[in-house]
Structure 1
Amino acid sequence: MATRDSTSRGTGLALATESMTLLHWAGVVLAVVTGVLHLVLGVSFGLSGFGISFVVAGLGFLVGAAAVLVDYRRRLVYLLGIPFTLGQIVIWYFVNAPDFSPLGIFDKVVQVAFVVVLVVLYRRG
C-alpha cells in the first residue's frame, strides 16, 4: 500500500497516485467520463426516480474513481465495480431497446472498456 501524508490536507485522505499505472489512470478516466455523463443526465431528468437513479449511478462511478486515487482498498473497488458497471449496461439495454441513442452507445462503449480495465486490474492483484 502506498504511503500517505494524512496531515497534508487535514482530512486523513490524500492522493496516493505513485503506485498507479497507465491502466489505473485509464480506469479513472473512464469512470469519470461515465460518472459525469450520468450526473448530467440525472440532473436533466429532474427529481424523478429515473433522474435520481442516474445521479446515484454517477456518484458511484466518481466515488470509485476517488477511492482508487487515494488507494482505498483498490482491489475491492475493482471487484465491486465490475458487477456495478455490468448492471448499468444490462439495465440500459432493457430500458432503451430497440431505440439506442448515440450518447447511450458511447457511454456503453466507455463502460465495456471500463469493465475490461477493472478485470485486468483485479487479476493483477
Structure 2
Amino acid sequence: MSTATTRETASGIDALGAIHWLGVLAALVSAGVHLLLGVRMIPSALGISFVLAGLGFVGGVVLVLAGVRRRAVYAVGIPFTAIQIVLWYAVNFAGTDASIPGDVGTLGAVDKIAQVVLLAVLVVLVRR
C-alpha cells in the first residue's frame, strides 16, 4: 500500500470514530435549530444571522466528512460554537427579566445541549 493511499484512507470517513460522529450529530442538531428559526425570522437581521450560523455548522460537518484539514476545522469550531452560546445568552437573558432554565424553551435547550456537547467533542479532538 502506498503512502498516498494510507493518507487518503486516514482522512476519509472510515477514519472517523464514535467521538467524531457524536460531534457531527451535535453540529447537525444545532444547524437544524438555527436554520429552522432563521427561516422563520427572515428577512430580519436576526433571521439572516441564524441562517448563516446554521450554514456554518453544516459547512463544518461537510469539511470534516470530506477530510479537509480536520484539525483546523475543530480548532475554528471551538470559538464559533462558544460565540453561539455567549450570543444566545446576551440576546435572550442579559439585561432582561428572563431566567434560566424557566425561559429557555425546548428548541433553546436542545440547541444549547447540542452545542455544549459539540464544544466538548471539539476540545477533545483538538487535544488528540
TM-score w.r.t. the length of structure 1 is 0.86
Between Structure 1 and Structure 2, the one with more helix by share is: 2
Measure the CA separation in 2 of the matches of 1:2 and 1:22: 20
Is residue 78 of structure 2 the alignment partner of residue 73 of structure 1? no
Q: Which has the higher contact order (CA 8 A, sep 6+)?
A: 2
* Residue 2 (structure 1) shift: 4.1
Q: Aligned runs of 1:18-29 on 2, under 5 Å?
A: 18-29=14-25
Q: Which amino acid aligns with 2:62?
A: A
* Equivalent residues, number: 114
| Residue in structure 2 matched with residue 82 of structure 1 by the alignment | 78
Q: Which residue of 2 aligns with 1:3?
A: 8
Amino acid at match of 2:66: V
2:54 to 35, 55, 58: 58
The code of the aligned residue for 1:46 comes to I
Moved more, 102-111 or 47-56: 102-111
Q: What is the deviation of 1:16?
A: 2.0
Distance in 2 separating the partners of 1:63 and 1:93? 24
Q: What letter is aligned with 1:100?
A: V
SS at match of 2:16: coil
Structure 2 CA distance for aligned equivalents of residues 101 and 25 of structure 1 = 26
Question: d(CA) in 2 for partners of 1:76 and 1:53?
Answer: 23
Larger radius of gyration: 2
Normalising by structure 2, report the TM-score.
0.84
